[in-house]
A = this chain, B = another copy of it.
Amino acid sequence: MSTVKILSDDQISIAAKNILDDIKNTRKTEYINNFWRVLANNPETLKRTWESMKQIMGEGAIDQKTKEMIYLAVSVAHNCPYCIHSHTVAAKNKGMSEDEYNELIAIIGMASETNRLATALGIPIDDCYLV
């Protein structure tokens, strides 16, 4: 399905390989998933995307499990099957329980419903919600 080639290890440029090595080190795994392997066709975008990802998804005020759950929620709303599959696995790897997953799915569905209800009805924003 890919619109560009998925590079095998020996087709990857040195510039891209250095980024992929940093991904492996940061994630403590030898596995590079297709997303990064495809971006390796374009080392500049690979580098910028990975550096942003590393900064945003690392430790912070929000714990990493919750970050992955938020990422998954956005990916569902944007309808990206690749991202849904990879971040469902990532959230589980960070400790998301089955109960948490079930609640996450329910929240996404509920928000989708009320988002469209509010839009359909043209509901004006309450004054108390404005900064």
**Which A residues contact B (CB, under 8 angstroms)?**
1-6, 31, 33-35, 38-39, 41-42, 44-45, 48-49, 52-53, 55-57, 60-62, 66-67, 69-86, 88-89, 97, 99-100, 102-126, 128-131
Contact = CB atoms under 8 A, between A and B. Distances in A.
How many copies the complex holds: the figure is 6
Nearest to A33: B126
Main secondary structure of the interface of A (DSSP, over half): helix
B62 A104 contact: yes
Contacts of A75: 111, 115
A79 B80 contact: yes
Contacts of A41: 102
Q: Which 6 A-B pairs have the closest CB atoms?
A: A77-B77, A61-B99, A74-B111, A113-B113, A85-B129, A80-B115
